[in-house]
Amino acid sequence: MNKLLKILILFSLIGFLSVPGYSSLKYDVYDTGGKQDQQTASSVFKKIEEGISSGKVSAISNLFSSQMYINLSNGVNGYYSSNQAYYVLQRYFKNYRVISFSIENIHEEDDNVIGTGDYVYFFKGSERKAQVYLSLKKTGNKWKIIQLTID
């Protein structure tokens, strides 16, 4: 709980003010020649949830920002390009095999969204649980993951 508080304070300090609850605002995600598909940030989180639950980085890699901050329970942390992030997470998911993943809370403020959830995984013969923090930012007309912490 103390780590969750620290992360939320950190987000507040760097400008990610949050408002509890889901937003009903819709954002354009794809341009289909005048016909716009619209998607909420919560539906993007659903896609992330499904991708991480499957343990397949390829299912979410199109959502990585060009520079993404990663902080993992195995000590790996720093800013990574989207290509580097792919391989860092692929190795992590291979060693910390997901059993289940769910996003429990989403907080939106304008073009910034924070999600928190639980990552249950299998490591060295036992089941363990970690807290996940995700931060999305709307870039152009697409949501991108700018931060992922698994702690």
54-77 tens-digit pLDDT? 999 999 999 999 999 999 999 999
Q: What angle do CA 63, 69, 71 make, to 5 degrees?
A: 115
CATH topology of domain 33-150: Nuclear Transport Factor 2; Chain: A, (3.10.450)
> With pLDDT > 70 as the criterion, what percentage of the chain qualifies?
74
Nearest-angstrom CA–CA distance, 105 and 135: 12
Q: pTM value? A: 0.74
Nearest-angstrom CA–CA distance, 99 and 122: 7
> Hey, what are 48's tokens?
């992330």
3-state SS record for 68-130: EEEEECCCCEEEEEHHHHHHHHHHHHHHCEEEEEEEEEEEEECCEEEEEEEEEEEECCEEEEE
The domain ranges of the chain are: 33-150
Specify the pLDDT at position 30: 35
Specify the pLDDT at position 34: 33
Specify the pLDDT at position 39: 63
